Structure 1
């Protein structure tokens, strides 16, 4: 169940929101507060997952209350519930999940609750996968230090480094191209991957590429004294060589 805390200095507004939220099977009301000071004092006791927060409270500004709450470890999700739409920009600057305008409608509140549930399920899935990654990586390092783990869809595979033709960083993700033709996602950075691999076999040739030297089929001259590596995979992939890595690559391949 998702624990919700209601914050509004008008009891009828809290009562209406309480009724609408409790119609949803995935939510439970863990507390209510009538002001900013009260919610800050009770937060540690009730530990809500999500807070429905009015902006114009009698004692504190709701936006400032949200800023203070978001500084907490594992901060709650914030949904602003107010009669004023002029605070919308500030709300979304604080990464609020949603912005509910009074008077509330059943359809609008239901849509917000569904959005929260969707994000909650995604969060739980990511946390589960993160825990699984750490556990499997630890076991692999203990039992088979020459093995790696990588994701293929929702399956976490244990692979041998010899299967990797090259690795490519794309944004915050690192992809491994295998001999089999599969493309797997490595749960870490390109530098972390490089630290795990044999430096005699795997060379960093670009800030975004790490290659298995055994699968380099050709060093091709490119523009302005630069080079590209042709890899021995099904696609004859061309990997750029960064200038800062060229000297080391020349020494490795002897050209």
Structure 2
């Protein structure tokens, strides 16, 4: 389980980080000191679990958790705070846990295990739902349509290299360039589940255009695409799934 710690107090982050590092199958992938930074780190690090303080400068933990809950494939959020009066608001953000400081090791382990079970159940339910919807309701398009200054542009699905989400917009990267579309990444993933694979919270890549998954000089895994210099990054969370897919191709 990849973990992100969000707290405006460096000592609190350091204490929790030391505890996380002693827990089997848990890896600290990032830290943040306020809600805005937390959202940036969720997109950058793609964690499974976010340990979130409530009272922080700029954007507090509750507001950040609400935004995170609206993301595609959101991580589990566990609040760690010195105040018990925010529990009701915390669970309204769909948080999976609420721990009071100072956090005890057994409480931390129990919260992580609960989040692990919830995450697995959600992924299973989401996958089953997407498969049923794709089979029963969705008719797969042969083109992606987009409104441009020239009118309606049709991009053949076979020419699409990947879909990349950035806040409210999705960019289609294809052989002729880049195009913004109104579709959500979640809907595109459901419709084209047999043709595209999720490699990051914000990215779907065409399976047919994948040549290899390689480690960059910076230590990140990237996808090498056919006839393209573009190298989309594979998040740590999705490396094993992509590796399994490539082994079957």
Higher relative contact order (CA 8 A, sep 6+): 2
TM-score (norm 2): 0.49
Radius of gyration: which is bigger?
Answer: 1
